[in-house]
């Protein structure tokens, strides 16, 4: 939802500071996730400016909540989606959009009926890739959203916890994660390589 | 349903400056070599690039005029475009491609599809309605692209090299069909091509574009009979000379020819290659123009042979293979060229 417009802005517009924006969007890809968590914490905690405003205005608290876990994982996984979709938007033949224009389609119609269908494979690939990355998220989640059972305890956090007590279930959970990730990457392989 | 265009914009290393008026129901061909600015002209009229100067009006409505900051976006110009490689939407079937325009203009889905089916039927493509573009042949794709452009009921139809992507066999058939559809279209049509055959077969008038400038414009017959540039002369396969006249004398690059009639001042003259006779010995008799030239190249063209001569007058002669064999012509030989005065068409510059 954020990713597609962001990718569009990066691929198609000529706004000043576009490379800076891209740098910021892709930053979580190279940043240690813990650092990302610290950054989110200082931005959205109840003691920070935005966090206070969010809580006062909407009663919304991000830290140590499920919403917070989602924000943390989006933050870390988004670059994978953006980079895939941006590549597709740059790679597609923009003349198709021009044809649609001459046929009387406004910009919204062009985007919905021509652009999106043409980049659909990359949208799917980006989504799955980002989802797979989010699945394995550990650092940013534990730093920002904590490790609250039933609310922000994600699979990798559970693995880490189980390792202390019940080693067997930790291994079982790890195997589940391993299998899911492998399936995703195998399914994506052709598409991902074809784009790159 | 007419168009008046004066387009001027910077195009790489040269400026495009074209004035063009196409009345409703007529077809104008823009003829020129690759890179002359033909496609850019079409894109400007369609609204895909903005003019830097000039003014474009469709049906008297100004759609682009930089001096008053008027610019109408493509989707509001009601201009149908058939692109060189057709650009059918690969994710839609032939029918959905044709229905796209009516749908985008707010027609209901059922109505748009019925409309599209009628257009495909008119093109003889009922069977291909549910086919995706990648499974269509070149000729079929061309017809779908034409149907898609016409289904929006455009005021103006723009065709960019509509036959260039087709092989020779299909081209003749598609050209004939295209001629029929253009005759049925009530609006103005502008056709961009580098092939004079397309222009001859499809257009009423021709505008010759070279290096972004119009070098000649007029009815097809007039342009082919009296070319005004090397390029046009080469396209239609005739010799174009540029010289000055005094009475029945024509001076070209230091050579002097006798022509029919009385003329004065700078003129163009054409000599059909088939009117140039070649001889080993200086000919005697009726042809009054003769000179010694050197054979630069010999090319087979269908069942005729084109012999290019250099010398006082560079000229192309078209002779039979038998004549070449009989005279034993090879490149580098010196031969006599002879042209009757009556074969030289002279017209003012």
Q: What is the ipTM of this complex?
A: 0.71
Whole-number CA gyration radius for chain B: 25
Of A102, A109, A117, the CB nearest to B91: A117
Q: Is the pLDDT of residue B246 over 50?
A: yes
Angle between the N-to-C axes of helices A66-91 and A33-44, in degrees from 0 to 180, rounded to the nearest 10: 120
Q: Which of A103, A107, A109, A123 to mutate to test the interface with B (most CBs of B within 10 A)?
A: A103
pLDDT at B239: 87
pLDDT at A195: 44
Q: Which of A104, A111, A113 to mutate to test the interface with B (most CBs of B within 10 A)?
A: A104
**Hey, are the CB atoms on B74 and A98 less than 8 Å from each other?**
yes
**Hey, are the CB atoms on B73 and A100 less than 8 Å from each other?**
no
Of B76, B77, B83, the CB nearest to A99: B83
Cα distance between residue A23 and residue A83, in whole Å: 11
Q: Is the pLDDT of residue B297 over 80?
A: yes
pLDDT in 10s for each residue of chain A, 196 residues: 555 666 666 656 666 667 777 777 777 777 777 777 777 777 776 666 676 667 666 666 666 677 777 777 777 777 888 888 888 888 888 888 888 888 888 888 888 888 888 888 888 888 887 777 777 777 677 667 666 666 666 777 777 777 777 777 778 778 887 888 788 777 766 655 444 3
Q: Rounded to 5, what percent of chain B is helix, strand, coil?
A: 30, 40, 30
Strands B213-219, B205-210: parallel, antiparallel or unpaired by DSSP? antiparallel
Average of per-residue pLDDT values in chain A: 74
* Nearest Cα residue in chain A from B46: A102
pLDDT at A48: 67
**Hey, are the CB atoms on B48 and A109 less than 8 Å from each other?**
no
Count of other CB atoms within 10 angstroms of residue A73: 23
Strands B27-31, B188-193: parallel, antiparallel or unpaired by DSSP? parallel
pLDDT grade, residue B81 (50/70/90)?
A: very high
Please compute the mean of the pLDDT values over residues B33-51 and round it to a whole number. Answer: 87
Give me the residues of A, 85-144, that contact B with CB < 8 A.
93, 95-96, 98-106, 109, 113-114, 117-118, 120
- Identify all chain B residues contacting A96, using CB atoms and an 8 Å cutoff: 87, 89
* Nearest Cα residue in chain B from A114: B89
- Identify all chain B residues contacting A120, using CB atoms and an 8 Å cutoff: 91
Give yes or no for a contact between B48 and B237, defined as CB atoms under 8 angstroms apart.
no
pLDDT at B147: 92
**Hey, are the CB atoms on A105 and B75 less than 8 Å from each other?**
yes
Cα distance between residue B77 and residue B58, in whole Å: 8
pLDDT tens figures, B149-171: 999 889 899 999 988 888 888 88
Q: Is B83 an interface residue toward A (CB < 8 Å)?
A: yes
Average of per-residue pLDDT values in chain B: 87
Q: What does the domain layout of chain A look like in residue ranges?
A: 3-147
pLDDT at A196: 38
**Hey, are the CB atoms on B48 and A98 less than 8 Å from each other?**
yes
Q: Is B203 an interface residue toward A (CB < 8 Å)?
A: no
Beta strands in B23-126 (DSSP E): 27-31, 53-58, 61-65, 70-71, 79-82
| Residue B15: φ, ψ to 5° | -100, 140
Cα distance between residue B75 and residue B39, in whole Å: 19
Q: Is the pLDDT of residue B8 over 80?
A: no
Strands B255-271, B277-279: parallel, antiparallel or unpaired by DSSP? unpaired
* Nearest Cα residue in chain A from B73: A101
Give yes or no for a contact between A92 and A115, defined as CB atoms under 8 angstroms apart.
yes
Sign of CA dihedral B109, B115, B117, B119: negative
* Nearest Cα residue in chain A from B145: A99
Q: Look at residue B72 and give its three-state secondary structure.
A: coil
Q: Which of A88, A96, A97, A102 to mutate to test the interface with B (most CBs of B within 10 A)?
A: A102
Kindly tell me the number of DSSP H helices and DSSP E strands found in chain B.
Answer: 9, 19
Cα distance between residue A60 and residue A108, in whole Å: 32
Of A95, A105, A113, the CB nearest to B83: A95
CA A174 to chain centre: 22
| Residue A154: φ, ψ to 5° | -90, 170
User: Of A125 and B320, which is predicted with more confidence?
Assistant: B320
- Identify all chain A residues contacting B46, using CB atoms and an 8 Å cutoff: 102
- Identify all chain A residues contacting B148, using CB atoms and an 8 Å cutoff: 103
Cα distance between residue B115 and residue B238, in whole Å: 47
- pTM > 0.90: yes or no: no
- Identify all chain A residues contacting B87, using CB atoms and an 8 Å cutoff: 93, 95-96, 99
| Local structure of residue B283 (DSSP, 8 states) | -
Give me the residues of B, 58-77, that contact A with CB < 8 A.
73-77
pLDDT grade, residue B145 (50/70/90)?
A: very high
Gap from A117 CA to chain B (nearest CA, Å): 7
Take residue A117 and report the two structure tokens written for it. Answer: 């269908």
- Identify all chain B residues contacting A103, using CB atoms and an 8 Å cutoff: 75, 80, 100-101, 104, 148-149, 152
CATH class of A3-147: mainly alpha
């Amino acid at each position: 939802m954020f990713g597609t417009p962001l990718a569009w802005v990066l691929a198609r517009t000529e706004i000043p500071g576009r490379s800076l924006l891209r740098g910021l969007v892709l930053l979580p890809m190279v940043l240690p996730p813990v650092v990302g968590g610290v950054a989110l914490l200082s931005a959205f905690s109840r003691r920070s400016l935005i966090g206070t405003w969010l809580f006062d205005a909407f009663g919304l608290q991000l830290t140590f909540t499920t919403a917070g876990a989602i924000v943390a994982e989006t933050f870390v996984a988004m670059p994978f989606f953006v980079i895939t979709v941006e590549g597709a938007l740059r790679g597609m033949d923009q003349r198709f959009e021009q044809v649609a224009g001459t046929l009387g389609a406004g910009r919204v119609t062009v985007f919905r009926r021509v652009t999106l269908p043409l980049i659909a494979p990359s949208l799917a690939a980006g989504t799955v890739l980002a989802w797979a990355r989010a699945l394995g998220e550990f650092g940013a989640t534990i730093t920002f959203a904590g490790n609250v059972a039933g609310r922000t305890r994600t699979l990798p956090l559970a693995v880490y916890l189980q390792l202390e007590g019940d080693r067997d279930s930790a291994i079982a959970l790890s195997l589940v994660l391993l299998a899911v990730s492998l399936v995703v990457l195998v399914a994506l392989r052709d598409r991902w390589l074809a784009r790159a | 349903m007419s168009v008046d265009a004066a387009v001027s914009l910077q195009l790489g290393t040269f400026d495009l400056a074209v004035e063009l008026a196409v009345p409703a129901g007529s077809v104008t061909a823009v003829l020129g070599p690759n890179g002359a600015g033909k496609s850019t002209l079409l894109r400007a009229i369609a609204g895909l690039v903005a003019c830097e100067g000039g003014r474009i009006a469709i049906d008297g409505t100004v759609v682009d005029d930089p001096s008053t900051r008027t610019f109408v976006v493509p989707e509001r110009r009601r201009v149908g475009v058939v692109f060189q490689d057709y650009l059918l939407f690969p994710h839609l079937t032939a029918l959905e491609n044709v229905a796209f325009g009516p749908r985008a203009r707010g027609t209901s889905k059922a109505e748009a599809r019925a409309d599209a089916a009628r257009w495909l039927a008119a093109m003889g493509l009922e069977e291909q309605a549910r086919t995706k573009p990648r499974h269509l042949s070149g000729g079929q794709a061309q017809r779908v692209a034409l149907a898609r452009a016409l289904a929006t009921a455009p005021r103006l139809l723009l065709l960019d090299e509509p036959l260039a992507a087709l092989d020779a066999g299909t081209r003749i058939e598609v050209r004939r069909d295209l001629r029929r559809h253009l005759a049925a279209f009530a609006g103005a049509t502008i056709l961009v091509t580098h092939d004079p055959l397309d222009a001859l077969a499809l257009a009423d008038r021709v505008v010759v574009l070279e290096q972004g400038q119009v070098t000649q414009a007029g009815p097809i017959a007039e342009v082919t009979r009296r070319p005004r540039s090397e390029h046009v002369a080469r396209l239609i396969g005739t010799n174009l000379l540029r010289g000055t006249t005094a009475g029945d004398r024509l001076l070209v690059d230091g050579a002097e020819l006798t022509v029919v009639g009385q003329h004065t001042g700078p003129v163009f003259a054409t000599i059909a290659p088939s009117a140039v006779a070649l001889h080993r010995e200086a000919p005697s008799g009726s042809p009054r123009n003769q000179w010694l030239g050197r054979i630069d190249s010999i090319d087979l063209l269908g069942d005729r042979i084109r012999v290019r001569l250099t010398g006082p007058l560079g000229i192309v002669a078209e002779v039979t293979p038998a004549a070449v064999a009989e005279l034993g012509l090879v490149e580098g030989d010196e031969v006599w060229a002879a042209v009757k005065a009556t074969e030289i068409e002279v017209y003012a510059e």
